[in-house]
Amino acid sequence: MDFRDRHVIVTGGTGALGNAVVGALVEAGATCHVPYVVAAEAERFALRQHERVKLVAMSNLADEADVARLYASLDKLWASIHLVGGFSMAPVAQTTKADLMKQIEMNLVTTFLCSRAAVNAMAGRGGRIVNVAARPALEPRSGAGMAAYTASKAAVAAFTIALAEEVAKLGILVNAVAPSIMDTPPNRAAMPNADYTAWPKVEEVAATILFLASPQNAVTRGAIVPVYGRS
């Protein structure tokens, strides 16, 4: 996959999956613009000194004005990859409205605002948008005990499909991946007795994201691609 001379925004790029995605993109020739909110994450980011990685300090990716400024700062945007999000596990009886709205803001609102800004930035040229849903978005029964998270990710999946249909004639292909639990240090720490070998690796999920965001993806749109590994 050839991303030479192509600019890509990767939200959540300083996280575990983000490191894998940004690493693969720069290896393929892309220039990556990586917004971050937490300074400590940016300082730990392995690719922060790479000549084709541009870290951008942000206050909030759910803030309309902040997101608009980020996308307006780029002259030519090829792809926008939205990895930023949040997770919460709690039964509905213990979930407040504030908890629900936080999940919606972190997962759906950030995806919506960045997608909207990307569509405007890609006007007349086309491009690619890749969102991140989750396995419970496709299998809601598996979301028992984390209904707020499941609902927010199901909304991301529905939004992705609707947007894909809306902008296809503009040459913008919109898709999403739906990971199961990924093999990351925090997930291993949270589930020490799990079978890690069955979990998809972040590099494997990144490879699917890269294809969906690439010029080589000429026809796939409106897909919510399961990336479950053997789990």
What secondary structure, in 3-state letters, does the chain show?
Answer: CCCCCCEEEEECCCCHHHHHHHHHHHHCCCEEEEEECCHHHHHHCCCCCCCCEEEEECCCCCCHHHHHHHHHCCCCCCEEEECCCCCCCECHHHCCHHHHHHHHHHHHHHHHHHHHHHHHHCCCCCEEEEEECCHHHHCHHHHCCEHHHHHHHHHHHHHHHHHHHHHHHHCEEEEEEEECCCECHHHHHHCCCCCHHHCCEHHHHHHHHHHHHCCCCCCCCCCEEEECCCC
Provide mean pLDDT across the span 48-72.
96
- Going by their DSSP bridges, the two strands 79-82 and 127-132 should be labelled as parallel
Q: What is the pTM of this model?
A: 0.96
pLDDT band at 133 (very low <50, low <70, confident <90, very high): very high
Return the structure tokens found at 137: 């978005």
pLDDT band at 65 (very low <50, low <70, confident <90, very high): very high
Task: Select the CATH number that applies to the domain covering 7-227 from these four: 3.40.50.720, 3.40.309.10, 3.90.1010.10, 3.30.300.30.
Answer: 3.40.50.720
pLDDT in tens, 154-201: 999 999 999 999 999 999 999 999 999 999 988 999 899 899 999 999
pLDDT of residue 75: 84
pLDDT of residue 173: 98
pLDDT in tens, 110-129: 999 999 999 999 999 999 99
Q: Is the pLDDT of residue 143 over 90?
A: yes
Return the structure tokens found at 155: 């909304």
pLDDT band at 231 (very low <50, low <70, confident <90, very high): confident
By annotation, the residues acting in catalysis are 149
Closest CA to 160 of 184, 188, 180, 132: 132
pLDDT of residue 200: 93
Per-domain boundaries in the chain:
7-227
pLDDT of residue 40: 92
pLDDT of residue 152: 98
